[in-house]
Structure 1
Amino acid sequence: MTTLYVDADACPVKAEAERVATRHRLALKMVSNGGLRPSANPLVEMVFVPDGPDEADKWIAERVGKGDVVITGDIPLAAKCIEAGARALKHNGEVFTPANIGTILATRDLMADLRAADPFRQGGGRPFSKADRSRLLDALEREVRAALKEQ
């Protein structure tokens, strides 16, 4: 059975994930180290992991499998999910695939090296927008439908 996992720490699209899970009657696991408001939706399970780096990522990676869908901004977690046969996408709707995950991982590593080499380098990502939210909803709907077909 398809499960939707959300790497919920600092995730801006929790409500959208819940809406799609409800529409398709999917189990939704919101994984976080705390600070999330519980949902009254019976399809939503709030999973609280211990504090520590990557604890939510580890929890998801240990359980995800073929036919599942994961929303995460963590590229190494996305790579593990894809390796396990799941589908993964970023909060802005960018879909991770077996064809693009290697390049995305390499770019992430390169950017980390560049930031480490120049501690005064300014900048960061652009702010999350309404267009990002819309792209996420479209992409999540497509990925969930594709995952359900695999079942």
Structure 2
Amino acid sequence: MNIWVDADACPKVIRDTLIRAAERTGIDCTFVANHAIPLPQRQNIHRLQVQSGFDVADNEIVQRCESGDLIITADIPLAAEVLAKGAHALNPRGELYTKETIGARLNMRDFMDTLRSSGIQTGGPAGLSQTDRREFANQLDRFLAKAKR
């Protein structure tokens, strides 16, 4: 099992949590982004810098991930693609996407996109709260504990 991180928009606090988890468990963790990301020098922590462009990092993750891998992303279409490959997807707020819930999430995303396209101000997501950070860390720990079994 590997952890793949959609790192272009990954909050630093989530990146730090992932680094600590990788150090603790020894699981390979790869941060995929179109810009340089500061990471500690560890054998199991990797950076993969891709070219700039729409969905370039997402496409690289989809191409490289395998069944059973964990992908960290807030990108709902990316989550849907990796779920279809048999991988798992967790967002930075601690929500584990599933095959049962991803369709509704995609529909809501498309609906909100339609609203924004028509000029309606929908606002962006709220900032990452302490509760979100804690939920992410807890969900990650639960997932990694199950994966070790």
* Both proteins in one fold, TM over 0.5: yes
Match of 2:5 in 1: 6
- Farther-moved stretch of structure 1 (63-72 vs 139-148): 139-148
Q: Distance in 1 between matches of 2:85 and 2:147?
A: 13
Gaps of 5+ in 2: none
Q: Distance in 1 between matches of 2:79 and 2:143?
A: 14
Question: Secondary structure at the residue paired with 1:98?
Answer: coil
- Farther-moved stretch of structure 1 (39-48 vs 52-61): 39-48
Match of 1:90 in 2: 91
Q: Distance in 1 between matches of 2:65 and 2:106?
A: 20
Q: Distance in 2 between matches of 1:110 and 1:129?
A: 25
Q: Distance in 2 between matches of 1:42 and 1:121?
A: 45
Question: Secondary structure at the residue paired with 2:37?
Answer: coil
Match of 1:123 in 2: 123
Query: 1:19: how far off?
Result: 1.1
Q: Distance in 1 between matches of 2:71 and 2:144?
A: 10
Q: Does the 8 A contact of 2:115 with 2:122 survive in 1?
A: no
2:141 counterpart of 1:132: no
Gaps of 5+ in 1: none
Question: Aligned pair count?
Answer: 147
Distance 1:137 1:9, change over 3 A: same
Q: Does the 8 A contact of 2:5 with 2:71 survive in 1?
A: yes
Query: 1:147: how far off?
Result: 3.3
Query: 1:143: how far off?
Result: 1.9
Matches within 5 A, 1:2-151: 2-12=1-11, 13-117=14-118, 119-149=119-149
Q: Does the 8 A contact of 2:8 with 2:33 survive in 1?
A: yes
- Farther-moved stretch of structure 1 (17-26 vs 74-83): 17-26
Task: Give the residue type in structure 1 aligned to 2:92.
Answer: H
Note the aligned Cα RMSD (angstroms). Answer: 1.2
Q: Distance in 1 between matches of 2:95 and 2:25?
A: 21
CA offsets per residue over residues 29-69 of structure 1, 9 Å max, x none?
A: 00000131132122111100001011110000001111100
Q: Does the 8 A contact of 1:6 with 1:28 survive in 2?
A: yes
Q: Distance in 1 between matches of 2:6 and 2:147?
A: 18
> TM-score of the superposition, structure 1-length normalised?
0.92
Q: Distance in 2 between matches of 1:81 and 1:120?
A: 31
